[in-house]
Structure 1
């Protein structure tokens, strides 16, 4: 069985939360321009409250514009655990989140794809450069890999099979 893996990883170490064949390719646009370097990849938790990384961290510059990944409605713009977060609901049950971001939008605002939501702030935990944007996506209660929704699913390799019936 072929599974998608990120370039530079070994087979079987990365499986997106959602099968990319079940998701329209390029459903979302990148929240930073130009397309950023991914500093930390999505790592789906094994249980709803288990450890993992429920989004991707993207290399940014403090003050850089954060763009809406698709048209939608701002449902949150405020602090979560002391960090400024923006959440946008989109058609199809998707919700994108962006942090740390100084908002330029307010709850209830309708936004279009590519609209400036705010600006990246320095200080994202675990970021090894001046600033990183944490970008997360949920479909309902399930966190999904944002890269799978941009069409960035990597190359295909065969997963080792241990045999069996």
Structure 2
């Protein structure tokens, strides 16, 4: 067996692609700590009028601190359909939403990634208490898990066996 060292120019380019509904990876992190379990994944319907799940549900506990997933400005902190909701605008035209969350920050407040923005409350069936976390760009809903930077891709040495004629 021989170990062959390849120069960067000799390596193939690896493309990692995400579904078109995925948000771009950036300077974002989980809105709950420690890293929560995903109780219900993103399920974007084919058409806007069809039912779906336009966000993810993250396991949490009543009274748990909810954190801003990224740097931005609080643009809404109030009640929608009897649930407390917070919305934050981020650079690049993204808006994240968090519910049911009692706001600890006023509208207009600039927040940074990881800053506490409110307290998780019960009231999001069927997994209460859990955080419904959503993201959209303009009117297009995206998978918020696409915001999270996963472990980096690492290439391992390539071992090539000599070919025998």
**What is the TM-score when the length of structure 2 is the normalising length?**
0.76
After TM superposition, what 4+ stretches of structure 1 lie above 3 angstroms from structure 2?
A: none
1:92 match: secondary structure: coil
- Counterpart among 132, 139, 143 of residue 137 in structure 2: 139
Unpaired stretches in structure 2, ≥5 consecutive residues: 1-15, 152-165
Provide, for residues 110-140 of structure 1, a one-character-per-residue CA deviation record: whole Å limited to 9, x for no partner. 111111000100121221xx51000000011
Q: Which residue of 2 aligns with 1:160?
A: none
Q: Which residue of 2 aligns with 1:100?
A: 100
Q: Deviation of residue 37 (structure 1)?
A: 0.3
Q: Deviation of residue 147 (structure 1)?
A: 0.6
Unpaired stretches in structure 1, ≥5 consecutive residues: 5-14, 154-165
Q: Deviation of residue 49 (structure 1)?
A: 2.2
The two structures, once aligned, show a CA RMSD in angstroms of 1.9
Q: Deviation of residue 26 (structure 1)?
A: 4.5
Contact 2:29-2:149 at 8 Å conserved across structures:
no
Cα gap change, 1:123 to 1:16, in 2 (>3 Å) = farther
Cα gap change, 1:94 to 1:73, in 2 (>3 Å) = same
d(CA) in 2 for partners of 1:150 and 1:95?
Answer: 15
d(CA) in 1 for partners of 2:40 and 2:26?
Answer: 20
Q: Deviation of residue 151 (structure 1)?
A: 3.2
Q: Does 1:73 align with 2:77?
A: no
Q: Deviation of residue 16 (structure 1)?
A: 5.7
Q: Which residue of 1 aligns with 2:32?
A: 32
**What is the TM-score when the length of structure 1 is the normalising length?**
0.76
Q: Which residue of 2 aligns with 1:158?
A: none
Q: Does 1:51 align with 2:68?
A: no
